[in-house]
Structures are given as structure tokens and as C-alpha cells.
Amino acid sequence: MSEELDELYQDIILDHHRRPRNRGRMEEPSAMGEGFNPLCGDELSVFLKMDGGKIVDIKFIGQGCAISQSAASLMTQRVKGKTVPEARAEIADIKALLLGENEPPIAIQERVGDAIALMGVRKFPARVKCATLSWHALEAALGGSGKVSTE
């Protein structure tokens, strides 16, 4: 196995793939967002329960590869209990981490916690969309636009 592949499928990713956190439907969510990757057919829905401007609960359902599923699981852990502006800041950090042309600033790498494990996709351009799908779906849920496609 190459170093790149080990970085892509590191233990945190495989752990979240095997035991996804916050996976499942939510009854009467306050908001919902859907992400769709037409290229590979991955689909993901994010449900939010809001209270006093905070994300008090979050769930996701969907199907896709290990990267997209573990990224969704990591995402829910990152933003549960956060305010909307804090969650938006998390989204911005992840975009900088995965989509930025240059190596992301150390400050961001340190801020994102376990989600740093997603950085392995930077060496696999075809898989970046898998890692960002759930964050786009979260953005859609926060923004009220409901649906988002990675294309």
C-alpha cells in the first residue's frame, strides 16, 4: 500500500466508516439539506434540530463510499452543539482544508480536529467531492436552500 493510500484511508476514516456517528433519520427536523454527486450517484441528507440558534442535534442518512460516509459522520461530530456562525466557520475551514490550491495553513489544520483525517483526499482529486458532499449538504440545510449538487 502506498503512503497516499494510507493517508486516504487512515484509521479515523475507517473507524467512522465502520461505526458512523449520528447516522439515522430525525423526526421533525428544524432544517434539512440534501447533497447529490451526479458523477458517482452518492446521496446524502442532513437533518438539523435547532434551538436558540444552536444545532442541538444533527443526523445524516445516505449511501456512498467510505470517504463520503465517514466525512458525514465526522461533520456531525464537529458541528453538534455549535451556533450557526460557528458551523459556517467549520464549513469554511473544511473548504480551505480540502479545496485550497496550496497546503492549508497550520492554524486551520489545528482547528479542524479529527476532520484533519479528510486531508488525505488532496492527493486523490477524483475523491475530493466525496469528502465535501456532507459539508455542502450542511451548508444547504443552514442556508435553507435544501438541495445541493456537487456539479
Partner 1 sequence: MNKTGTTSKAPPVFDAAAVREDFPILDTRVGAHALVYLDNAATAQKPQAVIDAVSHYYASTNANIHRGVHYLSAEATDAYDRARVTVAQFLNAAEPRECIFVRGTTEAINLVAASWGRTNFRRGDEILLTAMEHHANIVPWQMAAEATGAVIKVIPVTDRGELDLEKIDQLLTPRVKLLALTHVSNALGTINPVRELIKRARAVGAVTLVDGAQSAAHLRVDVQALDCDFFAFSGHKVFGPTGIGVLYGKAAALEKMPPYQGGGDMIERVSFEKTTYRGLPERFEAGTPDISGAIGLAAAIQYLAKFDHTALAAYESDLLAFATDAVAAVRGVRIIGEAPEKVGVLSFVMDDVHPHDIGTVLDNEGIAIRAGHHCCMPLMKRLDLPGTARASFAFYNTRAEADQLANALVKVRKMFD
The string over 61-74, giving b where at least 16 C-beta atoms fall within 10 Å of a residue's C-beta and e elsewhere, is: ebebbbbbbbbbbb
d(CA 125, CA 139): 22
Nearer to partner 1, 17 or 88 (CB): 17
Shortest Cβ 24–partner 1 spacing (Å): 18
The CB-of-23 to partner 1 minimum distance in angstroms stands at 14
35 neighbors 43 (Cβ within 8 angstroms): yes
Give dist(CA 137, CA 145) in Å, integer.
10
Q: How far is the CB of 123 from partner 1 (least distance, A)?
A: 11
Nearer to partner 1 (CB atom), residue 9 or residue 49: 9
Burial 120-150 (b: 16+ CB within 10 A, else e): bbbeeeebbbbbbbbbbbbbbbbeeeeebeb
Residue 2 C-beta: closest distance to partner 1, Å: 5
1 or 107: CB nearest partner 1: 1
Q: Closest approach of Cβ 65 to partner 1, in Å?
A: 4
| Residue with smaller CB distance to partner 1, 3 or 110 | 3
The footprint of partner 1 (CB under 8 A) covers 1-2, 4-5, 8-9, 14, 17, 39-42, 63-67, 69, 124, 126-127, 130
- Which residue, 80 or 127, has its beta carbon nearer to partner 1? 127
Distance (Å, whole) CA 139 – CA 35: 10
Q: Is 137 strand, coil or helix? A: helix
